[in-house]
Amino acid sequence: MKQVRVRFAPSPTGALHIGGVRTALYNYLFARQHGGTMLLRIEDTDSTRFVEGAEEYITEALAWLGIEIDEGICMDAPNGKGDHGPYRQSERREIYHQYVQQLLDSGHAYIAFDTPEELEAKRNSVANFQYDARTRGEMINSLTLSKEEVEQRLANGDKYVVRFLVQPNEDIHVQDLIRGEVVINSNIIDDKVLYKSADDLPTYHMANIVDDHLMEISHVIRGEEWLPSAPLHVLLYRALGWEDTMPQFAHLPLLLKPDGNGKLSKRDGDRLGFPVFPLEFHNKKDGSVSSGYRESGYYPEAVINFLALLGWHATGDQEMYTMQELIEQFSLERVSKSGAKFDYEKGKWFNHQYLQLKSNDELAEQFMPYLEAKGVSADTTVVAKVIGLTKDRVNFVSELWEQVNFFFVAPTEYDEKSLKKRWKEDSPKHMTEMLALLEAQEDWSAEGLDNLIMPWIAEKEYGVGVVMNAFRICLVGAARGPHIWNITDVLGKEETLARVRTALEKLG
């Protein structure tokens, strides 16, 4: 196999969709596994859809996820690195001119003057209209016009496009690494626009083929939505005389909506309440704000793990994969052929798993801003301690506050349900007695308290559950939380006693 060079080639038209992230990931895994090169090219041939900041967003998102770019546009080289540049298609005009001219000269392409309006009218009047071998003779182009007329229009500065001349009734074979051989008859392919004079830019198909060739791409790994145009691309490689070095294709299955059918879209995320983008994005063009995985509290390794398994799976039952393991085990042969519904719940589970792997100190550091936002100032060692007691019950750092708040703020009200179930008629009496016991207690360790309280409960035959749950309500405000002696430990004697007194006052 020749030197592996793959590319991720997004358009800067907005935030990078999570499906695009997975495409980038699979490209990256494939490149790394084969000791190849991962390249990032910006496909900005549609000037009308350009969105400011989108390109920076893409490079930042990939960097956050740990998808490293070896060549082309990336965070540490915003204008591209490598010797196959420029890596932004809008900066490659001269290059495309040359190849468009080559196709014109060799008769593989022709000039067409039909305006968008005329074409629109044609489509409306003729059912299933397609610009191809059957219809191009009726259109306004260099095939139907005299040479002088074409020259004249060009000289006038008439807007035109260059169209690819597709030969009719030919079976085109495409070898796909995931799907095998796909055969399509050229009759269903229209004479695609390769270049538009209006903005002096090629269309996707032309730019894509020229760039992949010039950048010596060995494998084109992209979404399934490109499968129908793969035969056209084969034809283009052939027309350009590059068929012998044509890259191999692999068309990835699509990411589908969690419910219902169809491609996963930004709207689904808004509707179902989960991010569809890696990072939060503020679209300057339409003013919209899209939520991101990073801002939602996801760890990049969780997103990577989750995404990797959406469309690919190794032989065994392994669920947790580091990037390194993915690189070692990934293979295009094991990519699914069918689309994968996006299961957000599983994404949360992955984050839970990765959160458990973090040290308490690291989590404490991440949690400090949330504490500050609540107006709580606390020692990080204490924060780390309470996180150690509670982290197994959260999926995100942001959910920690709900679990640890009572460690820092005394309850001001008591949970209705907990009271009904756990605050008994005798509870005030129990708590009053217990308060006296605790006031006299010197040894505040978990063991010391346990040795004090348990025998007392046993002697009085109050019942461990009855007493301890009432005690818990005093300290926490509800029937939840870690082991009670862990709570008294963090609270300390004074605070514990104060909370019992307050509860006695309020609950009688």
Partner RNA sequence: GGUGCUAUCGUCUAGUGGCCUAGGACAACGGCCUCUCACGCCGUAAACCCGGGUUCGAUUCCCGGUAGCACUACCA
Q: Which residues, numbered 244-303, are part of the site for RNA (CB under 7 A)?
A: 253-254, 256, 261-263
Q: How many chain residues touch RNA (CB under 7 A)?
A: 82
Q: Which is nearer to RNA, 246 or 453 (CB)?
A: 453
Residues 6+ away with beta carbon under 8 Å from 455: none
Exactly one of 266, 348, 385, 391 is catalytic; name it: 266
Q: Facing residues of 335 across strands?
A: 312
Instruction: Name the region of 180 (left: φ>0; alpha: ψ -120 to 50; beta: rest).
Output: left
Q: How far is the CB of 266 from RNA (least distance, A)?
A: 13
Q: How far is the CB of 28 from RNA (least distance, A)?
A: 18
Residue 198 touches RNA, criterion: CB under 7 A: yes
Question: What does DSSP assign to residue 321?
Answer: -
Contact 422, 477 (CB under 8 A): no
Residue 18 touches RNA, criterion: CB under 7 A: no
Q: How far is the CB of 178 from RNA (least distance, A)?
A: 8
Kindly identify the residues of this chain, within the stretch 207-246, that bind RNA according to CB under 7 A: 224-229
| Measured distance CA(343)–CA(258) in Å, rounded | 6
Q: Which of 25, 31, 210, 310 binds RNA (CB under 7 A)?
A: 310
Q: How far is the CB of 7 from RNA (least distance, A)?
A: 12
How is the chain split among helix, strand and coil, in percent rounded to 5? 50, 15, 35
| Measured distance CA(495)–CA(246) in Å, rounded | 73
To which residue do tokens 């990934």 refer?
330
Residues 6+ away with beta carbon under 8 Å from 444: 488, 489, 492, 493
Contact 50, 43 (CB under 8 A): no
Residue 11 touches RNA, criterion: CB under 7 A: yes
Q: Which of 33, 34, 46, 399 binds RNA (CB under 7 A)?
A: 46
Q: Which of 94, 244, 286, 345 binds RNA (CB under 7 A)?
A: 345
Count helices and strands (H / E) in the chain: 19, 16
Q: How far is the CB of 410 from RNA (least distance, A)?
A: 17
Kindly identify the residues of this chain, within the stretch 123-182, that bind RNA according to CB under 7 A: 123, 128, 130-131, 159, 161, 179-180, 182
Rounded (10°) angle between helices 446-460 and 464-476: 130
Kindly identify the residues of this chain, within the stretch 437-496, that bind RNA according to CB under 7 A: 464-465, 468-469, 471-472, 479-485
Q: Which is nearer to RNA, 239 or 389 (CB)?
A: 389
Q: Which is nearer to RNA, 127 or 373 (CB)?
A: 127
- Known catalytic membership, residue 266: yes
| Measured distance CA(4)–CA(1) in Å, rounded | 8
Residues involved in catalysis: 266
